[in-house]
């Protein structure tokens, strides 16, 4: 569903990689591109404005983390703002203290209410509940039969007006369904209401009458994510006409731009609770704002990596190391500390596997031997503090001593020391070019 948006955002954020510092102009340019991507995806203007303002403010602000480089910080901020727009915390279904819990479904015709009834019922049954469906769409021909088919597939009973009484009063059906639920001990009642192709007063009034008759614990506004910008105005009409406590997005498997769906939460103030992504009863899940955001950003694992880095690295230490790197004063002690911090994040193979593009490096990753790092650490630990501080003093006899102490050959020591000098020189040159390195580069 969000493929295009996802591609755009990923490429905007990828452009930031490798930048040592981000100027205000860099941040403005990035914000502009994100804005275009969101607008093209049909996200409503007020939502885009709020989002961009949040990202800019925070990216330019003092949120400097020693563990992350500027690009990673911006990715983190964009992700957090996106999670916020999508509602922050996952909103769980509220069950009534005195069963049955009554869930009323409202939405336009074709939005997926009937299908959703079955999905919800099956999902609830799986959790040990005993739901019952109620057919209150008595306008559309076949709506009752359709609900009965869905109920059968989900393995739950359907309460409907008696045959031959197909034009019955939906409010009366809804009211009677509660007695039936109590009698047959159903702890959840899911009421499917009639929808129209467009918002109309009579439909709203009927839904409101049903609402008043059954006092639902949850009213869910069901909205087809493919209807584009209309999603927002429809949501507003239902909010004012019936009111709702949660939103269900359907047809997220479609290939429309879907941004309007992202606007509903911000515009109506009500949380998205579930997402439907197919016609089968299983194609349904609780909506998790954080998971959706990282899916949209197309960098779920990258975000995990950022989180782990923040936890594993001491910010001050990383800052110091970055400064030393730039000035060519990095010591083997720093190197050891950094290596230990990285390894605290888990096996390096997993870590590298999380980086975008890691798929292409699969073979190399599979051959990577963690023991090599153990060996490096053992060698450095075998050195005296003075040697770690200034590896230049490590002469022939010292090399022999270290090799013996750490159980390796002298050539391994030579190798490590030579590579260290090379790496230090290279990093110093790069730091000179990019004006800063790793964490602590700041965003100004
Ligand atoms: P209602 O009029 O609101 O009750 O909508 P229905 O439940 O009858 O759904 C309308 C159409 O959308 C049906 O053909 C469903 O199979 C289809 N549908 C419902 N939910 C989804 C979904 O998540 N993905 C897709 N692709 N189709 C869906």
HSE-up of residue 4 (Cα within 13 Å, Cβ side)? 14
Among 234, 247, 279, name the best residue to mutate to test ligand 1's pocket (greatest count of ligand atoms within 8 A of Cβ).
279
- Range(s) for CATH 3.40.50.300 in the chain? 101-287
Question: Mean pLDDT by 10-residue block, N- to C-terminus, for the chain (444 residues)?
Answer: 82 78 85 92 91 90 64 85 91 91 95 96 94 91 91 95 70 94 96 86 92 96 88 92 95 78 88 92 89 76 65 66 70 80 70 57 65 84 90 92 90 88 74 46 35
Q: pLDDT of 158-188, one tens digit each?
A: 999 876 554 578 999 999 999 999 999 999 9
For CATH 1.10.260.30, list the domain ranges present in the chain.
Answer: 313-434
CATH 1.20.120.140 in the chain is located at: 3-89
Query: What was the pLDDT predicted at 436?
Result: 40
What would be the CATH architecture of the domain defined by 101-287?
3-Layer(aba) Sandwich (3.40)
Does the beta carbon of 251 sit less than 6 angstroms from any atom of ligand 1? yes
Q: Ligand 1 within 6 A of 285 CB?
A: no
Q: Is 279 in the pocket of ligand 1 (CB under 6 A)?
A: yes
What is the fold, at CATH topology level, of the domain defined by 313-434?
434 Repressor (Amino-terminal Domain) (1.10.260)
In the reported structure, the alpha carbon of residue 443 is separated from the centroid of ligand 1 by a whole-number distance in angstroms of 47
pTM above 0.90, yes or no: no
ipTM reported for the complex surpasses 0.90: yes
- Condensed to tens digits (0 to 9), the pLDDT of residues 61-103 reads 755 556 677 777 888 888 899 999 999 988 999 899 999 999 9
195 lines ligand 1 (CB under 6 A): yes
Which ligand 1 atom is nearest residue 115's CA? 7
Residue nearest to ligand 1 atom 26, measured at CA: 278
Q: What is the pLDDT of residue 444?
A: 32
CATH for 3-89, among 1.20.120.140, 1.20.120.80, 3.30.43.10, 3.90.930.60? Answer: 1.20.120.140
**CB of 84 shorter than 6 A to ligand 1:** no
Three-state SS for the chain is CCHHHHHHHHHHHHCCCCCCCCCHHHHHHHHHHHHHHHHHCCCCHHHHHHHHHHHHHHHHCCCCCCCCCHHHHHHHHHHHHHHHHCCCCCCCCCCCCCCCEEEEEECCCCCCHHHHHHHHHHHHHHCCCCEEEEEECCCCCCHHHHHHHHHHHHCCCEECCCCCCCCCCHHHHHHHHHHHHHHCCCCEEEEEECCCCCCCHHHHHHHHHHHHHHCCCEEEEEEEHHHCCHHHHHHHHHHHHCCCCEEEEECCCCCCCCHHHHHHHHHHCCCEEEEECCCCCCCEEECCHHHHHHHHHCCHHHHHHHHHHHHHCCHHHHHHHHHHHHHCCCCHHHHHHHHHHHHHCCCHHHHHHCCCCHHHHHHHHHHCCHHHHHHHHHHHHCCCHHHHHCHHHCCHHHHHHHHHHHCCCHHHHHHHHHHHHHHHHHHHHHHHHHCCCCCCCCCC
Q: Cβ-count burial of 199 within 10 angstroms (0-12 exposed, 13-18 middle, 19+ buried)?
A: middle
CA of 362 to the centre of ligand 1 (A): 40
């Amino acid at each position: 569903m969000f493929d295009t948006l996802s591609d755009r955002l990923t490429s905007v954020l990828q452009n930031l990689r490798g930048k040592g510092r981000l100027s205000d102009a860099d941040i403005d340019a990035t914000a502009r591109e994100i804005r275009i991507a969101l607008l093209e995806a049909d996200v409503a203007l007020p939502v885009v404005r709020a989002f961009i303002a949040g990202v800019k403010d925070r990216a330019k602000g003092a949120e400097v983390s020693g563990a992350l480089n500027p690009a990673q910080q911006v990715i983190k901020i964009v992700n957090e703002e996106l999670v916020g727009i999508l509602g922050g915390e996952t909103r769980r279904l509220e069950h009534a203290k005195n069963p049955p819990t009554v869930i009323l479904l409202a939405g336009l015709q074709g939005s997926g209410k009937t299908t959703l009834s079955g999905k919800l019922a099956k999902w609830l049954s799986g959790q040990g509940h005993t739901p019952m469906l109620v057919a209150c769409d008595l306008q559309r021909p076949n709506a009752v039969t359709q609900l009965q088919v869905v109920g059968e597939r989900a393995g739950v009973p359907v309460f409907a007006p008696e045959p031959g009484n197909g034009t019955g009063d939906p409010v009366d059906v809804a009211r009677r369904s509660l007695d039936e639920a109590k009698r047959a001990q159903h702890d959840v009642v899911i009421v499917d209401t009639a929808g129209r192709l467009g918002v109309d007063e009579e439909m709203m009034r009927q839904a409101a009458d049903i609402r008043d008759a059954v006092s639902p614990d949850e009213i869910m506004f069901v909205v087809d994510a493919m209807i584009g910008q209309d999603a927002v105005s429809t949501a507003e009409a239902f909010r004012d006409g019936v009111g709702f406590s949660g939103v269900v997005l359907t047809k997220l498997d479609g290939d429309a731009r879907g941004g309007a769906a992202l606007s509903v939460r911000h515009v109506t103030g009500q949380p998205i609770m579930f997402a439907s992504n197919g016609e089968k009863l299983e194609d349904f899940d609780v909506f998790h704002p954080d998971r959706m955001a990282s899916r949209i950003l197309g960098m779920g694992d990258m975000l995990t990596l950022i989180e782990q880095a923040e936890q594993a690295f001491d910010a001050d230490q990383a800052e110091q190391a970055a400064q030393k790197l730039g000035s060519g004063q990095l010591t083997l002690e720093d190197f050891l500390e950094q290596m230990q911090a990285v390894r605290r994040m888990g096996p390096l193979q997993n870590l590298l596997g999380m980086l975008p593009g890691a798929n292409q490096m699969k073979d190399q990753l599979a051959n990577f031997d963690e023991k090599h790092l153990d060996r490096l650490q053992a060698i450095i630990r075998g050195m005296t503090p003075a040697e770690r501080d200034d590896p230049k003093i490590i002469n022939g006899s010292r090399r022999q001593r270290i090799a013996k102490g750490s159980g390796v050959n002298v050539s391994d020591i030579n190798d490590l020391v030579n590579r260290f000098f090379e790496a230090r020189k290279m990093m110093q040159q790069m730091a000179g070019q990019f004006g800063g390195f790793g964490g602590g580069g700041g965003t100004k």
